[in-house]
Amino acid sequence: MHDTMNVVKMKLLLRFETATNPWLELRALMRSAASDQKIEMLAAPVVVDRKKERTRISMQIRAVGLEHESTGPLSQAVAHAHATMVELNSASPFPEVEMMRCDVAFIDPFDMPFHELVELMKAHYLTPTRIADGSSDIGLIFDQRENGLLKHVQLGPMDRAQLMSEILRWPNENEIPDTFVFVNAGYEKVTSIAFSGDTLNKFLEEATQWQESEANRLVNELRERGG
């Protein structure tokens, strides 16, 4: 029985009730320049990569997002995301937060060929049908919504090449096993709250406690069946 899976990526998104201050100031300049107080901005996200930290920051009109790739413990990724968001808020205070979302991608190696892992997951999750029996891969998505909260799970078999080409921006081939179960656990909360380090920390603790528990439960069920 596994108690801890390997974390490969964490994503954090904060969406705000209004535009952030830099965008509001730029819009004010545009309206003044055009002598038109009805002009609205349509702008692509401003993206900054911190390659040494394997981190991407995306700043939008009403949102800020972070992606961080890591092979360390989940607590390390959480601390990095928290510190980065607090740093950004110090540079330009965030408006009221209306939604927070955290996604964590886990992998757990299985000592079997990819096609056998596919068959194991099909047997565990799917009723035999013509289309299921003939499939060479499988991907599953489960969503649960309740009281402004969304719990999202995506899982399936995966190999090194797929993870490197579809999920990771800065992959290290030596850190990735040949074949594994991939689990992405998303935790989204609709809220209306002022941003603070304590507020973010409480959300991240709540999210990652469920994410780690759910990912371990799913993989342990597969191992008990035959992995």
Written as one string, the DSSP assignment of 52-91 is GGTEEEEE-SSEEEEEEE-SS-HHHHHHHHHHHHHHHHHH
- The pLDDT > 90 percentage for the chain reads 74
Per-residue pLDDT, averaged over 57-72, amounts to: 94
Is 123 part of a structural domain of the chain? yes
Q: What is the pLDDT of residues 76-86, one digit of tens each?
A: 999 999 999 99
Assess if residue 1 is contained within a domain.
no
Which 3 state secondary structure label does DSSP give 101?
strand
Domain residues for the domain of 42 are: 6-225
Whole-model pTM over 0.95: no
In a domain, 56, yes or no: yes
How many domains, in total, are found in the chain? 1
37, burial (CB in 10 Å: exposed 0-12, middle 13-18, buried 19+): exposed
Between vectors from CA 187 to CA 185 and to CA 192, what angle results, nearest 5°? Answer: 165
Task: Work out the pLDDT band at 227, boundaries 50, 70, 90.
Answer: low
Residue 80 lies in a domain: yes
Rounded to 5 degrees, what angle do the CA atoms 59, 61, 66 make?
25
DSSP state for residue 3 in the 8-state scheme: S
Is 64 within the bounds of a domain? yes
